[in-house]
Structure 1
Amino acid sequence: MPIISQKAQTWVVVPAVLVVMAVITYQILLAPDHLQGTKNILSMAKTIPLPVGGPESIEWDPQGEGPYAAVVDGRILKWRGDGLGWVDFAYTSPLRGNCSRDEVVPTCGRPLGLSFEKKTGDLYICDGYFGVMKVGPEGGLAKLVVGEAEGRKVIFANQMDIDEEEDVLYFNDSSDKYHFREVFYVTVNGERSGRVIRYNKKTKEAKVIMDNLRCNNGLAINKDRTFLISCESATGLVHRYWIKGPKAGTRDIFAKVPGYPDNIRLTPTGDFWLGIHCKKNLIGRLMVNNKWIGQLVEKTVKLDLLIGLVNGFKPHGIAVKISGETGEILEILEDREGKTMQYVSEAYERDDGKLWFGSVFTPAVWVLDRK
């Protein structure tokens, strides 16, 4: 009996120890950061489902209609309200035969950042495969506007903004090697080939104004158009480039935000919202901060597993608001458990105070009425 009892105790103790070790390992390596002072309110947002995944960027036309959403199968969809739902507006490739509603097919394109030009009604589109494109107010097939800059092809156009007074576009080209589908490898492998490009619509000149960036993702011009900011997903750094004034042509660090930032949108009051893909964890930091680990991961870890490792296998929602004057973090909103919102790519504040959110993966946009 004592021998049987001892074996029984072993069978109980060993699994218990393994469970405890697994929990400790998860908490140390994988658990997303706990951020102080956040508001865990994003789970209260209203969900508007889409028939296709990944509304990475959203935008409204000059008449206030929309939102328009850039989705994974190469289309831009338009929301016509609860009665009509989503309708086709535009697409970036004529090759529509094998496009998937769940996964990126390179020949179909992958529209990302959207920006309407108010004076013309044209919609400019950063496509993660083709470059910067444009479609008229009636929609349809978009045409290429910028496909290279200073002799180098635009591989990964990401987000842009328009200075309509100067007739100039500014946009991110996030990598000289990878397209959108490999964005997480760009984040971890340490490469610094990202650049910000200025395109003069009158002269058709595309000029690099910032380079040596590490997966630069979001971009926005400030309210008085004296500078622009561009954020690096890998580092959380927000770089500033001075467009006008005594510092014109120079750059500095404007802010640093928690997590892996995506798109940036200017608020009606002149601050900025940044969509955050997820918070950081220890294993993510090890990959991002040690180039050799990141390059090993790139060669050995499948993309789905890498995404899980980065977000701690716990998709969640987060957005950060920073001051348009100082870069100070003003507010952090969360859906800590990912009950409603996950993989936030964009946070867009409208004049009525409502916050709209896009997602790089989830087939939904969300709207939060804070009033």
Structure 2
Amino acid sequence: MPLNQKVPTWFVVPAVLAVLSLILYRITIVPGDIEGAKNILALAKTIPTPVVGPESIEFDPQGEGPYAAMVDGRILKWLGDDLGWVEFAYTSPRRGNCSRYDVVPTCGRPLGLTFEKKTGDLYICDGYLGLMKVGPQGGLAELLVDEAEGRKIMFANQGDMDEEDDVFYFNDSSDKYHFRDVFLEGVSGDPSGRVIRYDKKTKEAKVVMDNLRCNNGLALNKDRSFLITCESATSLVHRYWIKGPKAGTRDIFTKVPGYPDNIRLTSTGGFWIGIHCKKNLIGKLILRYKWLGKLVEKTVSLKYVIGFINGFKPHGVAVKISGETGEVLEVLEDKEGKTMKYVSEAYERDDGKLWFGSVYWPAIWVLDRK
């Protein structure tokens, strides 16, 4: 074709639009890289679950497990490759219409799991029912508290036990949204999240932190002098001082890359934080500007909200931070989501193995660091 011959408009316009769309997609949708991240999580062993969403995992005082909190309201126990999963407990007696794939509110939705070492009791934060407990033999859990300071506990999320003081601290992530609408809670800018202190002896539930945006994970530090809780909406990790000269005060402990979920203390005093996904530009804009978040909440289905925030490419990330300074010590990821997706928790065992839960995927994973 001669150089001076014009290219037809019908060809140029679509080509330009295609290039611009690709550029726009990469700028706004594709998650950014995290400096220093190690792309090794695809090497983890996958253990499928018969139900979707093992959001939290826990090991009992004898080291058995893991136990996993599932979307159908049950807690399952892993007995190894030969025996697989068995039912251990459940949070609601109403089991008639429970789904293995979707949340049914009447069935409950267990989230954070915490074993009390001296009794073997399992404490369960249920995203619909409140704070619950079941004995070492499992079965139907009993409700401990579903209200604090005159306000209904709408979204119990994750907690941790101070066994010396017989106190359990846990998150109530919202007074407007339940678990099923957690992403809508994040984009709405709702600041109604709080941390609740439950005294096992007096049965009193007291609010110790409030005005939090989608506070998700919670863990006590090694000497139980403070707790940390992370806001999924802002990536901020807040600290509340329990003991010492700063007792009763709060500050910002650190900020993590990505949108954080559950927190687990390590035996050496650090913390692992499960990261649902890395950040992209459109997610940052939605969460930064409340008017845009409100618009998204009212006009975009939850499926697409999740897709926009994770770049329509579910992947796995976990961050380890210092228990003293909050400094990010290590970032592990499955950049392409080949093995891990929607990571909600990273749990480090003394044998060097890292176990991972997922809020939406039918699997847990284990990575042997040794």
Short-chain TM bin = over 0.9
Mapped to 2, the partners of 1:337 and 1:19 lie a distance apart of 24
Distance 2:169 2:338 in 1: 36
Secondary structure of 1:23's partner? helix
Distance 1:114 1:6, change over 3 A: farther
Which residue number in structure 1 is paired with residue 127 of structure 2?
A: 128
Q: Counterpart of 1:173?
A: 172
Whether 1:293 aligns to 2:292 is yes
Q: Which amino acid aligns with 2:272?
A: W
Please state how far the C-alpha of 1:18 moved relative to its aligned partner.
Answer: 2.4
**For residue 162 of structure 1, what is the aligned residue in structure 2?**
161
**In structure 1, what is the Cα distance between the partners aligned to 2:129 and 2:209?**
21
- Residue equivalent to 1:278: 277
CA distance in 1, matches of 2:16, 2:72: 47
Instruction: For residues 253-282 of structure 1, give each alpha carbon's deviation from its aligned partner in whole angstroms, at most 9, with x where no partner exists.
Output: 001001110000001110000000001111
State the distance in 2 between where 1:319 and 1:22 align: 31
Provide the C-alpha distance between the structure 1 equivalents of 2:269 and 2:72, rounded to a whole number of angstroms: 33
Could you say which residue in structure 1 is the equivalent of 2:323? Answer: 324
Q: Deviations over 1:274-331 (max 9, x none)?
A: 0000011111111101011101111111000100001010111000000000000000
SS in 2 for 1:295: helix
What is the distance in 2 between the residues matched to 1:29 and 1:330?
28
Q: What CA distance in whole angstroms lies between the structure 2 residues aligned with 1:109 and 1:82?
A: 28
- 1:350 counterpart residue number: 349
- Residues 1:260 and 2:254 are matched in the alignment: no
**Secondary structure of residue in 2 paired with 1:358:** strand
Per-residue deviation, 1:35: 1.2
Letter in 1 for 2:14: P
Residue 13 of structure 1, CA deviation: 3.1
CA distance in 1, matches of 2:192, 2:199: 22
In 1, Cα distance between the equivalents of 2:5 and 2:127? 62
Measure the CA separation in 2 of the matches of 1:64 and 1:100. Answer: 30
How many residues align? The count is 369
SS of alignment partner, residue 63 of structure 1: coil
Q: In the alignment, what sits opposite 1:84?
A: 83
Cα drift, residue 14 of structure 1: 3.3
Matches within 5 A, 1:197-346: 197-346=196-345
Deviation at 1:247, TM superposition (A): 0.6
| Shift in Å, 1:9 | 4.4
User: Distance in 1 between the 2:40 and 2:341 partners?
Assistant: 13
Q: Which whole-Å CA distance do the structure 2 matches of 1:127 and 1:150 have between them?
A: 19
Shift of the 7–134 alpha-carbon distance from structure 1 to 2, 3 Å rule, reads farther
Matched to 2:61, the amino acid is P
Q: Which amino acid aligns with 2:273?
A: L
**Matching residue's letter, 2:105:** P
Counterpart position of 1:35 = 34
Tell me how far apart the structure 2 counterparts of residues 116 and 227 of structure 1 sit (CA, whole Å).
19
Secondary structure of 2:92's counterpart equals coil
SS of aligned partner of 1:338: coil
- 1:28 Cα deviation (Å)? 1.2
Gaps of 5+ in 2: none
RMSD between superposed Cα atoms in Å: 1.4
Residue number in structure 2 paired with 1:191: 190
| CA-to-aligned-CA distance 1:233-266 (integer Å, 9 cap, x gap) | 0000000001111111110000100111000000
Deviation at 1:19, TM superposition (A): 2.1
Q: Which amino acid aligns with 1:136?
A: G
Give the letter for the 1:362 counterpart. Answer: W
Q: C-alpha distance in 2, partners of 1:167/1:307?
A: 38
Q: Which residue of structure 2 lines up, in the alignment, with residue 108 of structure 1?
A: 107
Matched to 1:363, the amino acid is P
* Inter-partner Cα distance in structure 1 for 2:139 and 2:18: 55
Q: Matched residues in 2 for 1:129 and 1:139: separation?
A: 20
Q: One-letter code of the match for 1:37? A: G
Percentage of matched positions with identical amino acids: 78
Shift of 1:27: 0.9
Amino acid at match of 1:279: K
Superposition deviation, residue 17 in structure 1: 1.9
Deviation at 1:106, TM superposition (A): 0.4
Output the TM-score relative to the length of structure 2: 0.98
Aligned-pair distance for 1:16?
A: 2.5
Aligned to 2:16: 17
d(CA) in 1 for partners of 2:22 and 2:153? 44
- Spell out, residue by residue over 1:45-75, the C-alpha distance to the aligned partner (whole angstroms, 9 max, x if none): 0000001100000000001000000010000
Provide the residue aligned with 1:369 in structure 2: 368
Distance 1:104 1:7, change over 3 A: farther
**Aligned equivalents of 2:6 and 2:90: distance in 1?**
66
AA partner of residue 229 (structure 1):
I
Equivalent position amino acid for 1:231 in 2: C
Instruction: Tell me how far apart the structure 2 counterparts of residues 364 and 165 of structure 1 sit (CA, whole Å).
Output: 34
Distance 1:12 1:267 in 2: 59
